[in-house]
Structure 1
Amino acid sequence: MISESENRHRHEVIERITTQISRHVLAHYPTPLMRAKRLSETLDGTELWFKRDDLISFGLGGNKIRGLEVMLADALAKNANWLVTGASVQSNHVRATAAVAAYAGMGCTAVYWGKPPATVDGNYRVTKMLEAAFHFTHDDDRASVDTHIQQVTVKLREQGQRPYAIPRGGACVMGVFGHVLAVFELYQQCLAQGLEPDAVVLAVGSGGTYAGWLLGIKLLNLPWKMHCYTVSREPEQVSQQVADLATEAAALLKLDWIFGVSDTPVHGGFIGQGYGIPSPEAAEAIKRVGRTEGILLDPVYTGKAMAGFLHELQSKQFDAKKIIFVHTGGEPAFFSGKGDWLNTSHRAV
């Protein structure tokens, strides 16, 4: 049980840190915290809850909106009139950034690696509808986006625009702050519902979300363990990225905290053939969650994280009993391609 003094201290921290973070609110909060009753009945005593950031009420939702609220406040404070960011054509972050730009009356350039795809669907279709300008690197190396974001930013500035560059996937300190606020929100929801979770499960791509949750949990001295599943980079690489982002964010909050890779464990083994490529394990996890809870996961992020979580639960590698799965959104990617990956058979997870 949480003591009254501990609860009071945590609320003081929430009030203090919240005043330090400038944020242009775009949606209605909190997002729902829902118990997965039917799915939990199949999990051998584990109680599973969903934090429904897929239901964020702006730009088709997803947790990327949280970070973009802080970035938008920073961009407006710097008198920017154009947002530049990038990732893959099915990027949730790029689609959300285009929606933010449309809302704020700003221009937006989406930098994508590779060449233009033959089909306009999923997040790519939404981003195009929002009238973002497209810039393709014609290089299949994902890191090519980083260089081209800077090139586009320089060109826009030469054209008289006032661009605001956002790193690939939104992995920057401003984005981290948005997810720190998500931890504060979830803590207050758990308190109100009498829920004391043991662990939080999260999909990890560029690392900004994980860094925010890590920092938020430490700020409130919560006993929650993070179980994070990489869907993009190798575990060691993403662990370092998360540690660096969390350290940078802590410094801006005037905290003398340094995070290392030992603070940021990441589970591997569930990326499949690569980032953005649906896997049979993710397909089975998506179908299982959908058919028990009516909740749609996506094949790029949450489907793979759920596959990892269910596998480790089945393998008795998960000792937590009350778990919150952060549904980070991404459903538009479910509607890209023909959906053949859903028909593949695989061992049950």
Structure 2
Amino acid sequence: MNTHQHLVIERVAGQIPRHILAHYPTHLMRANRLTETLGDAELWFKRDDLISFGLGGNKIRGLEVMLAEALALNADYLVTGAGVQSNHVRATAATAAHAGLGCTAVYWGKPPAVMDGNYRLTNMLNAQFHFTGDDDRASVDTHIHQVAANLREQGHRPYKIPRGGACAMGVLGHVLAVFELYQQCLSQGMEPDAIVLAVGSGGTYAGWLLGIRLLKLHWKMLCYTVSREPEEVSRQVADLATQAAALLKLDWTFHKEDVPVLGGFIGQGYGIPSPEAAEAIKQVGRSEGILLDPVYTGKAMAGFLHGLQNRQFEQYKKIVFMHTGGEPAFFAGNGDWLNSGYREMEHG
């Protein structure tokens, strides 16, 4: 680590408010058996699925920063939303419980017939539910504001968290993840060429862009969209990274051209497991004993393996796959998507 990087890590970490919920760093492990099948590429996993709070997942990183701000504002409620199988909502409910705050989960659509997976966990964590009655995912955004307004009328002090946790404060938590991985790589004598990431609402990717620029690293991002068209994702991530940079008093502007996004592996749509993802999940599980999820990491891995097979990534010799979590999806529904038939799972 050079002097510049050391000073940046020290300064930026000091600027980011954080209520730590878990133990860090998460494990960085070489995928030995899988690497043997990948030709010249050496694959590593960054195991944010093993974050030691709220059943894991990298959503915790952003929530640590948002919780610090919520407590500083003397909030007594967290209000957020997505689909009923949302990792972010489940993690928010756990965060609220830990901090002694109320939590309202805003879900699109109507209540499902079965309470399982993340939906069951969020209920167990004592979150209140509000359903929009509209199958449009964007309906959550309007209803988060409505729920917060109702809580204020009742004398509460709600803290609103956008759908999926995609906001500038949350982005800062993922900047710290870049710092963490960089220090781990130094200690293990490993310099990655590329980082593979599944992209949904864009907060994680924005944090990685900002962190990589802060440290002046040469890491390339291989990011697979799991929900929107690539161009829309690029614009969203660029906006979030620019907003987060402003919080750090940096006059930096990110443009969609700075945000490469790979497409083609969403399948039938967001939250709908795909046969390609199912095959990737089985290959990784049977090679490494690591469980990817069908909505995010399974689809990103499917895209990455396809790229390797088609020699798209021959220039990258050491690659880190960000495992962002999501395993509760395995306990929702009947799991037929691993064999035949693909049932929609409302996720976020």
Q: TM-score, normalised by structure 2?
A: 0.97
Indicate yes or no: 2:104 matched with 1:105. no
Tell me which stretches of 4 or more aligned residues in structure 1 moved more than 6 Å.
none
Distance in 2 between the 1:172 and 1:255 partners? 17
Residue 120 of structure 1: aligned partner:
115
Indicate yes or no: 2:326 matched with 1:322. no
Distance in 2 between the 1:252 and 1:128 partners? 34
Instruction: Give secondary structure in 1 for the equivalent of 2:251.
Output: coil
What percent identity do the matched residue pairs reach? 80
Instruction: Say which of 319, 333, 336 aligns to 2:329.
Output: 333
Indicate yes or no: 2:175 matched with 1:180. yes
Instruction: Give secondary structure in 1 for the equivalent of 2:44.
Output: strand
Amino acid of the structure 2 residue aligned with 1:57 = S
CA offsets 1:307-342 (integer angstroms, 9 cap, x no match): 000001101111311000000001001211100010
Worse-superposed segment, 315-324 or 71-80 = 315-324
Please show how residues 1-349 of structure 1 align to structure 2 within 5 Å: 7-319=2-314, 320-344=316-340
Distance in 2 between the 1:257 and 1:61 partners? 32
Distance in 2 between the 1:226 and 1:195 partners? 17
Distance in 2 between the 1:54 and 1:173 partners? 22
Distance in 1 between the 2:288 and 2:138 partners? 37
Distance in 2 between the 1:252 and 1:297 partners? 33
Structure 1 residues without counterparts, runs of 5 or longer: 1-5
Distance in 2 between the 1:286 and 1:8 partners? 41
| Deviation of the 1:190 alpha carbon | 0.1
Distance in 2 between the 1:335 and 1:219 partners? 39
Distance in 2 between the 1:117 and 1:237 partners? 29
Distance in 2 between the 1:299 and 1:102 partners? 27
Distance in 1 between the 2:340 and 2:8 partners? 48
| Deviation of the 1:344 alpha carbon | 3.2
| Deviation of the 1:8 alpha carbon | 2.2
Instruction: Give secondary structure in 1 for the equivalent of 2:13.
Output: helix
Amino acid of the structure 1 residue aligned with 2:189 = G
Distance in 1 between the 2:55 and 2:23 partners? 13
CA offsets 1:281-310 (integer angstroms, 9 cap, x no match): 000000000000000000010000000000
CA offsets 1:8-27 (integer angstroms, 9 cap, x no match): 21011000000000000000
Distance in 1 between the 2:332 and 2:273 partners? 11
Distance in 2 between the 1:125 and 1:206 partners? 23
Distance in 2 between the 1:228 and 1:242 partners? 11
Distance in 2 between the 1:228 and 1:66 partners? 19
Instruction: Give secondary structure in 2 for the equivalent of 1:16.
Output: helix
Instruction: Give secondary structure in 2 for the equivalent of 1:24.
Output: coil
Distance in 1 between the 2:111 and 2:225 partners? 26
| Deviation of the 1:45 alpha carbon | 1.3
Residue 3 of structure 1: aligned partner:
none
How many residue pairs were aligned?
341
Amino acid of the structure 1 residue aligned with 2:182 = Y
CA offsets 1:201-252 (integer angstroms, 9 cap, x no match): 0000000000000000000000100000000111111110000000011111
